[in-house]
Amino acid sequence: MKKMIITCAVCGAETTREHNPNLPLTPLEIAESTYEAYKKGASIVHLHVRDKNGAPTQDPEIFKEAIKLIRERCDIVIEITTGGAVGMTDDERVAVIEAIQPEMASLDCGTVNFGNDYIVNTLPTMRRFAKEMLKYNVRPTLECFDISHVIAADALIKEGLLKPPYHYGFVMNVPGALPYDAEILQFLVNRLPQGANWTVMGVGKACLPAHYGVFAIGNGFIRVGFEDNVYYSKGVLADSNAQLVERTAKLAKDAGYDIASPADVREIFELKGIS
């Protein structure tokens, strides 16, 4: 059967407890939420961390604490953010690659509107991050918020800064950026290098429609979690990240998929494994 890789983005950088009081913030809460999601079918955790005040941080020591607690619970694949949060410097964002040397990390592929803010990712920034990931054998998820970001990723491939198998993450429905639309998703997929893997992240109300877009196209993967969407249904807050993962896994099984394990992910993405 086809394998469905489910990524869970358990807290993100911008979501707060005003959005959903069930948001995990401390390293222990993040680890426990990750483990609950893993038990329901998540095989990758997209990892952000927060400081003692609940604000987003790229402090490697806080990442290390969260990772230690996750590893005490399960072997889920850990994908660390290098997107960080609005306003962070390149130095802050990329430092975690050398410090942690994870199996996977996100690599933002261009500058983008982000609601009333914007995130800056120039080509020199992208090259710097890609070089760090290549140096430490970290598999990038090439996060694309716009069609032009797929083209920017092509430049990194041509320059030898990315090695196959490539994995793209389509972040769709961020306010001010690319909306979710089935035709747009298909267009993005059509632009990928042959054999590339891809995951869709439907933000907010695009969460479920993005699932069905993946099922319709038939060869993609899905990300869910409080970073992208805090609701289970219209006006109803989700109880947990695990609740969102559980629904995604059920829909995927109903659509004819097996749910991928962390071992499956390591094989499909050719990861270096847990050190």
User: What H or E segment, with its residue span, contains residue 168?
Assistant: strand 167-172
According to DSSP H, which parts of the chain are helical?
27-40, 60-71, 90-100, 123-135, 147-158, 182-190, 207-217, 241-254, 262-268
Note the pLDDT of residue 12.
96
Answer yes or no: pTM beyond 0.75: yes
CA atoms of 105 and 102, how far apart (whole Å): 7
Where do the structural domains in the chain lie, given as residue ranges? 2-268
pLDDT 10s digits, 32-43: 999 999 999 999
CA atoms of 265 and 270, how far apart (whole Å): 8
- Report yes or no: 55 and 62 within 8 Å, Cβ to Cβ: no
Quick one: fold of 2-268?
A: TIM Barrel (3.20.20)
CA atoms of 116 and 56, how far apart (whole Å): 18
Note the pLDDT of residue 45.
98
Q: Which residues of the chain have pLDDT under 70?
A: 1, 275
